């Protein structure tokens, strides 16, 4: 089995983690036997686990270093600061060297035991992408299930049926697919949309979403909304047209109001007019604010794209540093 990344590494497993100290021991205990088994099955072919520490403030980094002592295939990539799940995934994809790259969450909500099945399917069917599709989400909260339902429905309307419903970030990618993703200039990547959009031959493996093994979700409502907005604005300019349609609609409403007012005037009614005027102003004000907000989302994207700032900074990679320097670097980044 090769511990040196790049030398015959068949499989890279990328795991973004943010403050996952409580989930780590269980993750290692379940993941390692599976991966050792795959290595043995493929005649001692190598694998690497790319643990991307997304600027954790707990003991995740220290624990990873401890695990690395007894597990040479574990590679630790540490981002300088918390950059978000998708950015951590990007860092992992850019650093991974395997012929196939699997991304999986650190909290064991995606079962590592499915990885061999994914690899087998990709190899036998000559597929570039194998999605992990959740068949049962009863372990998630009702709120999470409902918001996810709306999200996938909307995304399938935007990206088309190529996007499998209920496929999150547990998936396998071939080297070709990873290289294609790496070439994309996108800044705020949302991989569950980008990957189907690439159009590579793909397959699916279904699994039951388990409960988080320990710790709490790192996706509060604000981050879910951010992911939703990035997903929509990254893939469609249709919301911009909402402004036009709202404009047309309010124009016709105004025409109706004019007719009504003229009618009332002709009939000799004295229209007090305050409420209709006030409602009209409120309505138009709201429409304008919505449209401004929409424009802002896209201008924001253009702004980030023009800045061309990287979405993450790697502070430390255990595979880069020679052994003697590694300990010092780790101490330095541990704070």
Binding site for ligand UDP (CB under 6 A): 16-18, 20, 54, 82, 84-85, 88, 105-107, 109, 217-219
Q: In what order do the strands lie in the sheet with 202-208?
A: 202-208, 129-136, 167-174, 100-103, 9-17, 46-53, 74-79, 314-317
For 136, other C-beta atoms within 10 Å of its C-beta total: 12
Cβ of residue 251: shortest distance to ligand UDP, in angstroms?
42
> Least CB distance from residue 122 to ligand UDP, whole Å?
22
54 binds, among ligand UDP, Mg ion, none (CB under 5 to 8 A by kind): ligand UDP
Least Å distance, CB 305 to ligand UDP, is 22
- What's the closest the beta carbon of residue 329 comes to ligand UDP, in angstroms? 21
The answer to whether the beta carbons of residues 35 and 115 sit under 8 Å apart is: yes
Nearer to ligand UDP, 94 or 175 (CB): 94
Judged by beta carbon, residue 82 or residue 261, the one nearer ligand UDP is 82
* Residue whose token pair is 């194998």: 130
Out of Mg ion, ligand UDP, none, what residue 110 binds, judged by CB under 5 to 8 A for its kind, is none
Please, which residues have CB within 8 angstroms of residue 221's CB and are 6 or more apart in sequence?
A: none
Kindly state the smallest distance separating residue 220's Cβ from ligand UDP, in Å.
9
Name which of ligand UDP, Mg ion, none residue 318 binds, using a CB cut-off of 5 to 8 Å depending on partner kind. Answer: none
**Site for Mg ion contains 19 (CB under 5 A):** no
CA dist 205 and 114 (Å) reads: 8
Pairing of strands 314-317, 46-53: unpaired
Maximum CA extent, the chain? 94
Other CB atoms within a 10 A radius of the CB of residue 139 amount to: 14
**Residue 16's binding partner, choosing from ligand UDP, Mg ion, none, with beta-carbon cut-off 5 to 8 A by kind?**
ligand UDP
Instruction: Give 78's strand partners.
Output: 53, 316
Tokens of 8: 């015959």
- Taking CB within 5 to 8 Å according to partner kind, which of ligand UDP, Mg ion, none is near residue 85? ligand UDP
Site for Mg ion in 79-118 (CB under 5 A): 105, 107, 109
Residue ranges in contact with Mg ion by CB under 5 A: 105, 107, 109
């Amino acid at each position: 089995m090769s511990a040196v990344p790049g030398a015959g590494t068949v499989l890279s497993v990328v795991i973004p983690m943010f403050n996952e100290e409580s989930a780590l021991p269980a993750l290692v205990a379940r993941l390692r036997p599976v991966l050792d088994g795959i290595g043995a099955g493929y005649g001692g072919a190598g694998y690497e686990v790319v643990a991307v520490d997304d600027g954790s403030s707990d003991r995740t980094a220290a624990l990873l270093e401890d695990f690395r002592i007894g597990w040479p295939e574990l590679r630790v990539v540490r981002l300088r600061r918390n950059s978000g799940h998708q950015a951590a995934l990007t860092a992992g994809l850019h650093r991974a060297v395997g012929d196939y790259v699997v991304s999986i969450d650190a909290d064991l909500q995606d079962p590592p035991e499915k990885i061999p099945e994914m690899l087998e399917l990709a190899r036998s069917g000559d597929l570039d992408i194998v999605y992990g599709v959740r068949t049962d989400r009863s372990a998630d909260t009702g709120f999470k299930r409902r918001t996810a339902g709306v999200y996938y429905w909307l995304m399938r309307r935007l990206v088309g049926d190529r996007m499998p419903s209920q496929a999150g970030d547990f998936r396998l990618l071939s080297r070709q697919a990873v290289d294609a993703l790496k070439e994309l200039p996108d800044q705020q990547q949302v991989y569950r949309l980008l990957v189907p959009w690439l159009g590579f031959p793909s397959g699916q493996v279904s699994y039951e979403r388990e409960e988080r093994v320990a710790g709490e979700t790192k996706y509060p409502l604000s981050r879910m909304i951010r992911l939703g907005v990035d997903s929509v604005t990254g893939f469609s300019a249709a919301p911009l047209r909402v402004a036009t349609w709202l404009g047309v609609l309010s124009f016709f409403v105004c025409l109706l109001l004019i007719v009504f007012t003229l009618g009332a005037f002709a009939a000799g009614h004295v229209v007090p007019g305050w409420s209709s005027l006030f409602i009209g102003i409120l309505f138009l004000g709201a429409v304008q604010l919505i449209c401004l907000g929409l424009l802002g989302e896209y201008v924001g994207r253009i702004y980030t794209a023009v800045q061309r700032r990287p979405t993450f900074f790697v502070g430390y990679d255990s595979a880069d540093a020679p052994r003697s320097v590694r300990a010092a670097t780790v101490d330095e980044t541990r704070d």
